[in-house]
Amino acid sequence: MNTLKPPTSTDFKVNFPMKSDMTKNQNNKSQEDDISTDINFPWCLTFFEKRGKELFGEKFQIHQKDHAIIYKLLIYFLGNKNEAEKLGIDLRKGILLNGPIGCGKTSLMSIMRFVPSPERKHIMKPCREISFEFIQDGFEVIFRYSKMSFNNNHPKIYCFDDLGAEQSLKYYGNECNVLGEVLLCRYDLFISQGMITHLTTNLSASEMESMYGNRIRSRFREMFNLIAFDKVSADKRT
């Protein structure tokens, strides 16, 4: 079976004139200011669909109604400052991808790991797995994903998948909202060391506040760019 060749930065980007007229100006100098880096979006969509089929099966497909969300994610993970500013995306923050069950949040964030920007590559981690680790290892798990979450002094970027699917658990009788504590610790590290965190969730803002407290909700505004699917998006897994 043919495997998909890993992409390069030139695959995801093409240089082209911002204006149709790229002749030289009156001073006989090339109009470098009219050159901008833009995205070969159709190529990206084709690549993502092929990669998605490899990861999630032949039924995977990119839906046209999701193009706007995919474009925003692509701009973010490519670190395109000019376009991010136009879209109201802060590259210093993480992504909070919100949408109903089955809309494709996990698959899109998984595929975005292949965008060629190593410094922004993230590790996918289901929230339920962290809860299970807490049962096994206790409170050390909180530090595993926060204060000990460094690689060669560089903060690790995690995407905590499906926030809200985990439960508050007990370790030797002590109950703990594990993800809430992890996120509070990572917030402190975001402020002090620029540690980026991504989330996927189907929870509303009020539901997140109910589960994790108003401290979490207020910090989310500082930590994340909110990108949301339509609330009536169909379940693509059916």
CA distance 112 to 73: 8
Q: What is the predicted pLDDT for the residue at 49?
A: 95
Question: Can you give the C-alpha Rg of the chain in angstroms?
Answer: 20
Question: Which DSSP string do the residues of 128-175 spell out, in sequence order?
Answer: HHHHHHHHHHTTHHHHHTTTT-EETTEEPPEEEEEETSS--EEETTEE
Q: What is the predicted pLDDT for the residue at 145?
A: 97
Nearest to 45 by CA among 7, 95, 86, 97: 7
Contact (CB, 8 A) for 109 and 100? no
φ/ψ of 17, rounded to 5, equals: -65, 140
Nearest to 106 by CA among 180, 165, 148: 165
Going by their DSSP bridges, the two strands 197-201 and 94-98 should be labelled as: parallel
φ/ψ of 93, rounded to 5, equals: -95, 170
Structural domains of the chain, with CATH: 9-21+35-228 (3.40.50.300)
Nearest to 127 by CA among 77, 181, 170, 86: 181
Q: Which two tokens stand for residue 29?
A: 């100098």
Amino acid in position 138: G
| pLDDT tens series, the chain, 238 aa | 445 555 555 566 543 222 233 233 334 433 333 323 567 889 999 999 999 999 999 999 999 999 999 999 999 999 999 999 999 999 999 999 999 999 999 999 999 999 967 778 999 999 999 988 988 898 899 999 999 999 988 999 999 999 988 765 544 445 578 899 999 999 999 999 999 999 999 999 889 988 888 888 889 999 999 999 987 665 666 6
CA distance 106 to 235: 13
CA of 207: how far to CAs of 96, 163, 202, 226, 235, in Å?
15, 11, 9, 15, 21
Max CA pair span of the chain? 78
